[in-house]
A and B are shown apart, each in its own frame.
Chain A
């Protein structure tokens, strides 16, 4: 598969009102990449995502986005808000709203958009839920529905902000499997912020660590060998013994 650049950041600084949260970052996301962003709380992971989505202009440096990502064609899975959990809307309404960026001022969605929505629901194994109300779903099902919506918005790049927060371990595993499938089989580039390091080290092609001590970018193996990764390895060594193959 051809690997084209989707997002290229050069010497990027991001921040709010002149205060930089994140500086000197060089990063390249290519089609088919799987990048996990890990790091301490408040180290600027969410700020980076806002930058990659084009919602936050850089303080210095550049973010180049591929032409196909312009017009907001990014599949984004934001953190769920409290208000969303009991929102009265059918699954179909939610997923269709992912098609809005291809829709003009027409009142109705086109047949093509509807079938795209249904196809993505099917891909994530939640097609039978389409008539159900979003608020009646379990956390894992809600996350799948939101992922289907993100797939409607974009076919090349998914950006996820802590997707497993609030999910039980089984649902989290399911979600990681789905992401892995989308990445391997469909060539979808994935950028994910997570606190959960194991999947990051198991599935990701690249790990970006952002911390107050500095940033690290490399493969999972290199990350584990680095000072940042070693700290985690010591802390998580009991897990390593349980799942030796996965690390």
Chain B
């Protein structure tokens, strides 16, 4: 894995090769030195912000039973990314509109009584995955690209990604600060909210757009197969521990950011892929929370 990482490093970030090699051979370095690398700085900033957004958006998504939408969107973003690279577009500019459109589609499917919604989402997921793999195999071939898209790479975050994640995070935080009570009401009971004159569709659409953006931004670092867990795990963990909506929301945000930081550090120290490491840290915390809530109930 270390060798492969090194190869990725040299392939992907010209100037940082020397630093990357230094990473591979580090023996006298302390963990704090990892922040000297620009790519780690970018990964840290973007990762923390994306984790925060994912956790906040994840709470209403999980509670509304829309978790599968998050998963479906990450598969769609894989397909979109593969197409963007094949067609020579800037990945973000191409992926964002495609994934936002998919988010609207999946939301409609999930709410429509005429559709078998989880089957429909599974079909969309598998199809976009298949199309993505086909496109890649016909263009650049099944190389490290596929591996990187599927399972993420710590080197993937560019300066533009960092800037976009700052904007996204500002948008998500503003949404939650201004509309916290409305988000709660819509999440808890759509029918009641509608009857009291709230425009429920607007909130759902806004949630879908922001989730789509979060997933597109996060997927190249975390990996298309793994990014949806960033949306789902923190909310699940927080629901084990807290009983109020406010508690769950705050706890999910803190948990998610903490897990990302721990995951990034561990992945650096042991040269493991960052996406998988972060998800494993999330899983560990979730299991701990399950244990704690089981103990408390006894």
A binding-site residues for B, Cβ under 8 Å: 53-55, 71-74, 76, 78-79, 81, 83-84, 87-90, 93-94, 96-98, 100-101, 103, 105, 107, 109, 132-133, 135-136, 146, 149-150, 153, 159
Contact = CB atoms under 8 A, between A and B. Distances in A.
A83 B64 contact: yes
Contacts of B244: 88-90, 93, 133
Q: Is the interface of B mostly helix, strand, loop or mixed?
A: helix
B197 A84 contact: no
A135 B240 CA distance: 12
22 contacts: A53-B195, A72-B198, A73-B196, A78-B191, A78-B192, A79-B191, A81-B189, A83-B65, A84-B188, A87-B63, A88-B242, A88-B247, A90-B245, A93-B184, A93-B244, A96-B181, A107-B180, A109-B181, A135-B243, A146-B192, A150-B192, A153-B192
B115 to A, nearest CB: 16
Contacts of A90: 243-245
B181 A101 contact: no
Contact of B184 (A71, A73, A89, A105): A89
User: Which among A89, A133, A146 has the highest number of chain B CB atoms within 10 Å?
Assistant: A89
A150 B180 CA distance: 20
B243 A55 contact: no
A161 to B, nearest CB: 8
A103 B189 CA distance: 17
B178 A105 contact: yes
Given A83-B63, A84-B188, A109-B181, A93 B246 contact: yes
B239 interface: yes
Contacts of A89: 184, 188, 243-245
Given A84-B189, A93-B246, 9 more contacts: A55-B194, A76-B195, A78-B191, A81-B189, A93-B184, A103-B181, A107-B181, A132-B243, A159-B195
B197 to A, nearest CB: 3
Contact of B239 (A73, A76, A88, A101): A88
Contacts of A54: 195
Interface of B: 63-65, 177-178, 180-182, 184-185, 188-189, 191-198, 238-239, 242-248
A96 B178 CA distance: 16
A75 to B, nearest CB: 9
B245 A93 contact: yes
Nearest to B241: A88
A97 B239 contact: no
Contacts of B189: 78, 81, 84, 97
Contacts of A135: 243
Given A71-B197, A101-B196, A107 B177 contact: yes
Contacts of B178: 105, 107
A88 B247 CA distance: 9
Contact of A133 (B182, B193, B196, B243): B243
